[in-house]
Amino acid sequence: MKSVLTVFALLCAVPMASACPSAPDHSEALADLLRQAQEAPNEYQARLITNDMWALWADAPDEAAQEVLDRGMRKRRAFDLLGAAADFDRLIAYCPEYAEGYNQRAFVRFIQQDYARALDDLDRALALSPTHVAALAGKAMTLIGLGRMEEGQAVLRQALELNPWLPERRLLLDPPGEEL
């Protein structure tokens, strides 16, 4: 009986994943916001620009996905990490091509100090959205958490090239251009 239920669950998951529409294409708007962040005169202005980036990253493919994303983020903020992870699992099962599902699940795993699994999620998020500067910063912090300092510093430099005002810039050990 258990194998029949497993097969049924797998068959149901495929149509569910294919039902998710493509995520909105915000690539031009994000590129413009990254340019603005690079030109920002101060940290406050850069923070406002970053908030606009978050609004685009968190724009889910449809209403159902948005509801699950928002619920998971509320749970994460309330430190219901198991509930948040379950919501992000659902979001990823429904919308496997939506980068923010992976990024948010990675954040939960980072908080849980499950760095290896967080890194897997961040790599997937970045494969889907290569200029997701928050995922890059998260990857840098995750690599540092894994004790992979040189790799973490290199990824942090990549993130800072996109947005030099990231709060994680304070974790940079050496100024850009100098070898570790």
What pLDDT shows up at residue 15?
Answer: 40
Q: Structure tokens of 73?
A: 């983020």
In the structure, what pLDDT confidence band is assigned to residue 18 with cuts at 50, 70 and 90? low
**pLDDT tens track for 70-112:** 999 999 999 999 999 999 999 999 999 999 999 999 999 999 9
What the chain holds in terms of domains, given with CATH numbers, is: 25-164 (1.25.40.10)
User: What type of residue is 110?
Assistant: F
Q: 68: which 2 tokens?
A: 């699950």
Please compute, for residue 160, the number of CA atoms within 13 A of its CA located in the half-sphere on the CB side. Answer: 21
Decide: helix, strand or coil at residue 52: helix
What is the per-residue pLDDT for 174?
73
Count the Cβ atoms, other than its own, within 10 Å of residue 92. Answer: 20
Would you say residue 4 has pLDDT above 50? no
Q: How far is CA 140 from CA 34, 54, 112, 128, 154, in A?
A: 18, 18, 16, 17, 8
3-state DSSP helix/strand/coil % of the chain, to nearest 5: 75, 0, 25
Q: What angle do CA 73, 74, 76 make, to 5 degrees?
A: 60
Query: What is residue 176's predicted lDDT score, i.e. its pLDDT?
Result: 53
- What does the DSSP assignment read for 47-73? HHHHHHHHHHHT--SSHHHHHHHHHHH
For the record, the structure tokens of 174 come out as 């050496």
- Full-model pTM: 0.86
pLDDT at residue number 148:
97
DSSP letters spanning 92-160? HHH-TT-HHHHHHHHHHHHHTT-HHHHHHHHHHHHHH-TT-HHHHHHHHHHHHHTT-HHHHHHHHHHHH
**Per-residue pLDDT band at 16 (split at 50, 70, 90):** very low
pLDDT at 26: 96
